[in-house]
């Protein structure tokens, strides 16, 4: 099974800061990677698909990059409403494997 290693597990940043989260796959997954935002008590929300494509309606301050085994998720200017836990997920058939999550807080 493909393992996804996400870091950091938590971070604290100020409003307006640039925030970066990384995700490493245990083997080549091409660009089969999604990034999700999850707020307490809610289902995950897709932000980025195919590693770098912004889902419709998602603010442009969110972005993703990478391919193969190393991926990066960036919030260019952290906003108060971005407080949430973020997950990477690979979708190499058949399983969906998630990273451990990154809890983002406001400093």
Partner 1 sequence: EVQLVESGGGLVQPGGSLKLSCAASGFTFSGSAMHWVRQASGKGLEWVGRIRSKANSYATAYAASVKGRFTISRDDSKNTAYLQMNSLKTEDTAVYYCTTSSGWLWGQGTLVTVSS
Binding residues for partner 1, rule: CB under 8 A, are: 1, 34, 36, 38, 43-46, 49, 55, 87, 89, 91, 94-101
* Alpha-carbon gap, residue 91 to 10, rounded angstroms: 24
Peptide bond into 9 cis (omega under 30): no
Smallest distance, Å, CB 42 to partner 1?
8
Residue 10 beta carbon to partner 1: minimum distance, rounded to whole angstroms: 13
- The CA distance from 107 to 46, in Å, is 25
Q: How far is the CB of 83 from partner 1 (least distance, A)?
A: 16
3-state secondary structure 1-63: CCCEEEECCEEEECCCCCEEEEEEECCCCCCCEEEEEECCCCCCEEEEECCCEECCCCCCCEE
- When the beta carbons of 16 and 41 are compared against partner 1, the nearer one is 41
Nearer Cβ to partner 1 (17/98): 98
* Nearest CB to partner 1, comparing residues 13 and 58: 58
Q: How far is the CB of 75 from partner 1 (least distance, A)?
A: 19
């Amino acid at each position: 099974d493909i393992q996804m290693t996400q870091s950091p597990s938590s971070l604290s940043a100020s409003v307006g800061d640039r925030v970066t989260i990384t995700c490493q796959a245990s083997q080549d997954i091409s660009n089969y990677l999604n990034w999700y935002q999850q707020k307490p008590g809610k289902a995950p929300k897709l932000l980025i698909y195919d590693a770098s494509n912004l889902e419709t309606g998602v603010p442009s301050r969110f972005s993703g990059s990478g391919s193969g085994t190393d991926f990066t998720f960036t919030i260019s200017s952290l906003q108060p409403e971005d407080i949430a836990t973020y997950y990477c997920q690979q979708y190499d058939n058949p399983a969906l494997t998630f990273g451990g999550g990154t809890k983002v807080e406001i400093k």
